[in-house]
């Protein structure tokens, strides 16, 4: 039975044909749905009605892992569940791969639209049994109401999409009604994205360097290179404000390569005993050629491999563990050192410390901050330091801010420290000065 067959004749506009049905789901095809939406929005009286934009969560994962035939069976079942939720006169359409929409031509009340949306989210999050496999997906829904949110079909569809986007951004499985600030936020995001894409070419990225010192003697051992974005109007944009977006749109790979090359080049101007630590993001790890990129950055800059340290996060290692281990091993045969960043914030498996080819563990700043105030944090720092030493790894404490913290870390046997107590990250033109200052401190301390 197709959806069209279920419609009461009175529901179609003056008996106009509703148009083609999507074979897989039994729902209206995109053009047919948008046509019906357009006709409804053009009716003489501006009687309110609701539009729901629906997106499946995790559909792609099911499709990828169980294959297309099961993906299609899932779409068929989703189509059936959607149709079972709506009343005669309502229209349901498939707008794209796993995007759907529902038009409620006679329902303009937010509560009614929300009740339907909640029912859809509930129903689509229940398991599916498909050709011997069970699959669990979910759905997010955005709601827009005519004419309050927009008074033509195009803009109403966009309003519903913006609300859907907000629902997905806030955590999936949610329902959101359109609000004008969503448009503003989306426009800002689009501007940020465009600016970010242009930033490498315009030379707006710069590296700042934060010193890492030996806790026992206070000697400078190297610098961590930290990415900064200096935008003519936005000023100095903090990484948290653009790195997640860069990861999402795939820009982190070229940006990461720029960081690597620039940091290696910069380090060649420092005394030979100093290393440079460079962060590697998960998507860079997922790229097959990370090894080649690193090797090329070393060759082009002339930096000896042992002076480069790559800081990787637990998540990037976990994604494809076998390959990550292999890449790290190859890099280490070159002489590059590998350090595990932010230890303690992710999965923090102790087996990882044993199994991954590592040279160093960096203990997350949150534990260091609590050394003096929370006994359990101090215990964790002590344990990680001891474990690191037993496994032959160096340990670096991140975010060290007070002399008391430093004294504790010394007592635990932690090897290096980094944080405001030593120095904030400084721009490249202050690095030489910093090297001199820390060398002098060394002399006066000695």
Partner 1 sequence: MSGPSESLQRVIYASRATAGGELKVSEILETARRNNAALGVTGALLVSGPYFAQVLEGPPAAVEEIFERIQCDPRHERITVLEVAHPPARAFGAWTMAFAEEREDVSGPTLLDPAAAWGLLDRLQAALTNTAASQRLPG
Q: Which parts of this chain interact with partner 1 (CB under 8 A)? A: 77, 80-81, 84, 122-123, 126-134, 136
Least Å from the CB of residue 128 to partner 1:
7
Least Å from the CB of residue 77 to partner 1:
7
| Tokens encoding 422 | 């030593």
Least Å from the CB of residue 171 to partner 1:
19
Least Å from the CB of residue 119 to partner 1:
8
Contact predicate 397/413, CB 8 Å: no
Contact predicate 311/278, CB 8 Å: yes
In the complex with partner 1, the residue whose CB is nearer, 80 or 230, is: 80
Least Å from the CB of residue 24 to partner 1:
16
In the complex with partner 1, the residue whose CB is nearer, 81 or 382, is: 81
Q: What is the full DSSP assignment across 346-382? A: S---HHHHHHS--SEEEE-HHHHHTTTT-HHHHHHHH
Least Å from the CB of residue 315 to partner 1:
25
Taking phi over 0 as left and psi of -120 to 50 as alpha, with beta for the rest, 439 belongs to alpha
| Tokens encoding 208 | 């700042």
State the residue for tokens 């448009």. 183
In the complex with partner 1, the residue whose CB is nearer, 134 or 269, is: 134
In the complex with partner 1, the residue whose CB is nearer, 73 or 226, is: 73
H/E stretch holding 388 reads helix 375-390
In the complex with partner 1, the residue whose CB is nearer, 76 or 437, is: 76
Cα 67 from chain centroid? 26
Is the four-CA dihedral 316, 322, 325, 329 of positive or negative sign? negative
Least Å from the CB of residue 104 to partner 1:
20
Least Å from the CB of residue 59 to partner 1:
17
In the complex with partner 1, the residue whose CB is nearer, 77 or 325, is: 77
Burial of 325 (0-12, 13-18, 19+ CB in 10 A): middle
In the complex with partner 1, the residue whose CB is nearer, 50 or 130, is: 130
Q: What are phi and psi of 125, to 5 degrees?
A: -90, -5
In the complex with partner 1, the residue whose CB is nearer, 136 or 202, is: 136
Q: What is the full DSSP assignment across 400-416? A: --SHHHHHHHHHHT--E
Rg (CA), the chain: 28
In the complex with partner 1, the residue whose CB is nearer, 57 or 364, is: 57
In the complex with partner 1, the residue whose CB is nearer, 26 or 222, is: 26
Q: How far apart are CA 8 and CA 87, in angstroms?
A: 10
Burial of 243 (0-12, 13-18, 19+ CB in 10 A): buried
> CA neighbours within 13 Å on the CB side: how many for 149?
31
Least Å from the CB of residue 133 to partner 1:
7
Cα distances (angstroms) measured from residue 276 to each of 79, 170, 260, 358, 442: 55, 37, 10, 16, 20
Strand partners, 226: 208
Least Å from the CB of residue 27 to partner 1:
17
């Amino acid at each position: 039975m197709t959806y069209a067959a279920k419609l009461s004749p009175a529901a179609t506009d003056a008996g106009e044909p509703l148009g083609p049905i999507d074979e897989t789901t039994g729902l209206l095809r995109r053009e047919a749905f948008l046509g019906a939406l357009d006709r409804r929005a053009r009716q003489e009286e501006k009687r309110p009605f609701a539009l729901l934009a629906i997106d499946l969560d995790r559909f792609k994962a099911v499709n990828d892992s169980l294959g297309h035939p099961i993906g299609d069976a899932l779409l068929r079942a989703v189509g059936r569940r959607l149709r079972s939720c709506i009343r005669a006169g309502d229209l349901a359409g498939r707008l794209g791969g796993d995007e759907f929409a529902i038009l409620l031509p006679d329902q303009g009340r937010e509560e009614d639209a929300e009740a339907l949306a909640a029912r859809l989210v509930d129903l689509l999050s229940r398991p599916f049994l498909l050709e011997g496999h069970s699959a669990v997906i979910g759905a997010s829904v955005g709601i827009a109401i005519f004419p309050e949110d927009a008074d033509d079909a195009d803009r109403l569809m966009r309003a519903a999409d913006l609300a859907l986007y907000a629902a997905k951004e806030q955590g999936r499985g949610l329902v959101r009604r359109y609000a004008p600030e969503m448009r503003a936020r989306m426009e800002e995001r689009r501007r940020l994205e465009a600016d970010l894409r242009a930033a490498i070419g315009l030379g707006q990225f710069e590296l700042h360097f934060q010193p890492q010192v030996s806790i026992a003697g206070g000697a400078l051992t190297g610098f961590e290179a930290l990415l900064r974005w200096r935008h003519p109007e936005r000023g100095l944009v903090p990484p948290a404000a653009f790195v997640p977006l860069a990861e999402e749109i795939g820009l982190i790979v070229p940006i990461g390569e720029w960081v690597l090359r620039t940091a290696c080049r910069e380090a060649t101007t420092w005394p030979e005993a100093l290393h440079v630590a460079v962060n590697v993001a998960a998507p860079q790890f997922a790229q097959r050629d990370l090894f080649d990129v690193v090797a090329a950055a070393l060759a082009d800059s002339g930096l000896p491999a042992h002076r480069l340290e790559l800081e990787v996060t637990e998540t990037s290692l976990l994604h494809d563990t076998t390959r990550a281990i292999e890449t790290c091993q190859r890099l280490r045969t070159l002489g590059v050192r590998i350090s595990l960043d932010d230890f303690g914030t992710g999965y923090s498996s102790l087996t990882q410390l044993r199994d991954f080819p590592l040279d160093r563990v960096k203990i997350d700043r949150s534990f260091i901050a609590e050394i003096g105030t929370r006994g359990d944090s101090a215990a964790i720092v002590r344990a990680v330091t001891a474990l690191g030493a037993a496994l032959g790894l160096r340990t670096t404490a991140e975010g060290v801010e007070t002399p008391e913290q430093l004294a504790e870390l010394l007592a635990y046997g932690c090897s290096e420290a980094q944080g405001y107590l030593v120095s904030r990250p400084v721009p490249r033109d202050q690095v030489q000065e910093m090297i001199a200052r820390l060398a002098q401190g060394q002399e006066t301390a000695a």
